[in-house]
Amino acid sequence: MSPSTLQARPIEAEAFTPYGWLVDPRRGHDGAPINADTSVRFDGFGALALTADGGVPCLAVFRARAQPPQGPWQVLERHRLGTQTFVPLAGARCLVVVALGDAAPDPATLAAFVVGGRQAFTLHAGTWHHGLIALDDGDFVVVERRAAAEDCELAHLPVPVRVQWP
């Protein structure tokens, strides 16, 4: 079966909204001065879901190796009970392949976003996504839900996807 093609685009808040949100203080968030005016705190990026069914917040670091962005990509995962936030360290970029769908990913909703090394994003609970596809070797801080029972479902796309660059 030959792969279908998906056009990657730079991540933008509006286009990413069905799948999650950007964590970007430059976009529409008012900050509050803290620490004797030496810092500005930005809140209100979105509500994290980390405690459903006995879950606890987990702060992890994923050390990722760069991958060829074109793929092909075929296995998506989702976490029904929790959000996942990815924060690159030291400028590592990544590719986010996402889809919506109830029982399985809906190929009609597949999207691919290029995330710059100074951007962070959160996936809504239940969003289908490929595992971390790093474009540069690097570390990513990940904030997610951890519990005794794993909350990770896997699904294979009916046709693998190759990603094209803008």
Tell me the per-residue pLDDT of 40-56, one tens digit each, with 9 for 90 and over: 888 778 889 999 999 99
Q: What is the pLDDT of residues 71-125, one digit of tens each?
A: 999 999 999 999 999 999 999 999 999 999 999 999 999 999 999 999 999 999 9
Backbone angles phi, psi at 52, to 5 degrees: -60, 145
What's 92's domain CATH number? Answer: 2.60.120.480
pLDDT, tens only, 114-142: 999 999 999 999 999 999 999 999 999 99
As a dihedral over the C-alpha atoms of residue 89, residue 27, residue 121, residue 53, rounded to 10 degrees, the angle is: 120
Its domain, for residue 159, covers 4-164
Number of domains in the chain: 1
Its pTM stands at 0.92
